[in-house]
Amino acid sequence: MKNTLILALRNLQRNRRRSVTTALAIIVGVCAILLFGGFSKDIMLGMQTDFVRHGGHLQIQRHGYFVYGAGNPRAYGIANYERVMDVLREDPALREMIVVVTPTLELGGVAGNFAAGASRTVYAEGSIAAEQSRMQAWNEYGFNDPLEVAPLENTSADAAVIGEGLARMLRLCGPLRVSDCAEPRDVATESAPEEGASAPGDVLALAAAEQSGAGAGASSGPRIDLLAASAHGVPNVGSFTVAKAQRQGVKELDDIYVALHLPAAQRLVYGAEAPRVTAIEVQLKHTAQLPEARRRIEALLASRFSGEPMQVLDFATLNPSYGQTIGMFDVIFEFVFVLIAAIVLFVVSNTMSTSVVERTVEIGTLRAMGDRRGDIQTLFVYEGLLLGLLGTVAGVLVALLVSFGVNRSGLMWTPPARVDPIALTVRVWGQWRQIGLTFVILAIVATVSSWWPARRASRLSIVDALRHV
């Protein structure tokens, strides 16, 4: 076997130009597979990081809220959420895994800037700004992006943050310094409110009562009134100071998004009643801890809160686009892999077939010297194997070098659903499973592709081979 491998290597060196050309095709194929795989892996980890930063690894919700209760926070609110959070924080097993446990309240309503005669149905979210800022610091995968803080942090109790699209619709572009806010002259003229126009009296009365209830925490600035259904089904209005307009990345969300402080959102929905939340977000130190943490939380909820049915959902379930994106990239990766493998198959097969034709006399001589058909076939198969091994090893090394250069090139791009551009990175180093599979499969493809030419070479007639010109 050793002598056969040495002879196969010498044959590759003797036909150096053809060997190098074939190896280059394998190198390019390996690079294409690994670089695309590294790029798609980076996108998946980036999406996971965004979802975990904004909603945690896990969310505890009242059973059925995810499917039926998004528009009904009153019926699906968690009443004793503070006790639930205390139980999670004090549990010895979870204490080592949890980074942040924080409540949120989601609600729908109508936001209006009645001075401008503009209103819009909205999606509002109440949260604790300081804890949301702590969640923004999660960076398990080492992304080189600036640390963000929750836009509501260090703002007054009546503050709100809205999407830039919503700011345009409510005609708050000037006070909030929103760009690209020009409006067609005819539309602006026709839709402008009449002088002295205002909101309906009952809405103004509710807003005035809410503002007076907020007390000294109110601040000056552009204001909006938010109308929502209270716990008793009657409308309730809150008046809020818009601290900032912030792009949300997705136009549909940007046009409806309102962020509030949790107490203000609770007061809007539940009034003087005991406040509730629609979800408890749990952020872990590592994503790998998710299954264990989920089992432990479910066990605690079943034993300590059996009277209030709650369920635990992970970030992938809460964000179906995550699984859809992973599935899409998996299909593309498999297509690219099969395409590259087919190219390697035909390139190596063509190279070995040409080599058989050129070395027909040599094959006849070896057979005349006593080599068996199996020896001839093994020789050519070993040549294909060596080509595959050399090409895949070199391809892995080149892919690592290219990814190293790309990651330090400073190139920027804006992924889908992101607002700001981020550094373009390709994660090849560390993806050992992907590297190993690519190496093994393409090496096997190169070996298998040389089998048919090797079989044809082994079946040449000695007499015909020796007189071949």
pLDDT in tens, 264-278: 999 988 887 888 999
Q: How deeply is 430 buried, as exposed, middle or buried, from its count of CB atoms within 10 A (0-12, 13-18, 19+)?
A: exposed
Tell me what pLDDT residue 101 has.
96
Tell me what pLDDT residue 209 has.
52
- In Å, how far from its chain's centre is CA 111? 31
Tell me what pLDDT residue 117 has.
83
Tell me what pLDDT residue 200 has.
56
Q: What are phi and psi of 239, to 5 degrees?
A: -105, 130
Tell me what pLDDT residue 189 has.
47
Tell me what pLDDT residue 133 has.
93
Amino acid sitting at position 369: M
Tell me what pLDDT residue 124 has.
92
Tell me which DSSP letter residue 420 carries. S
Q: Residue holding tokens 């259904």?
A: 229
Q: How deeply is 463 buried, as exposed, middle or buried, from its count of CB atoms within 10 A (0-12, 13-18, 19+)?
A: exposed
Q: Residue holding tokens 């952020």?
A: 283
Q: 444 with 339: CB under 8 angstroms?
A: no
C-alpha pair distances (Å), 392 with each of 34, 430, 446: 11, 17, 10
Tell me what pLDDT residue 418 has.
66
Q: Using CA atoms, how far apart are residues 426 and 407, in angstroms rounded to an integer?
A: 6
Q: Using CA atoms, how far apart are residues 123 and 146, in angstroms rounded to an integer?
A: 27
Q: Which residues of the chain have a pLDDT value below 50?
A: 188-189, 192, 195-197, 216
Amino acid sitting at position 304: R
Instruction: Report the SS3 class of residue 442.
Output: helix
Tell me what pLDDT residue 216 has.
47
CB within 8 A of 301, min separation 6: which ones? 60, 84, 310, 312
Tell me what pLDDT residue 1 has.
59
Amino acid sitting at position 43: I
Q: Using CA atoms, how far apart are residues 410 and 436, in angstroms rounded to an integer?
A: 29
- In Å, how far from its chain's centre is CA 5? 46
The model carries a pTM of 0.82
Question: Among 194, 49, 182, 169, which residue's Cα sits nearest to residue 119?
Answer: 169
Q: Say how many Å lie between the first and final Cα of the chain, rounded.
A: 30
Q: How deeply is 221 buried, as exposed, middle or buried, from its count of CB atoms within 10 A (0-12, 13-18, 19+)?
A: middle
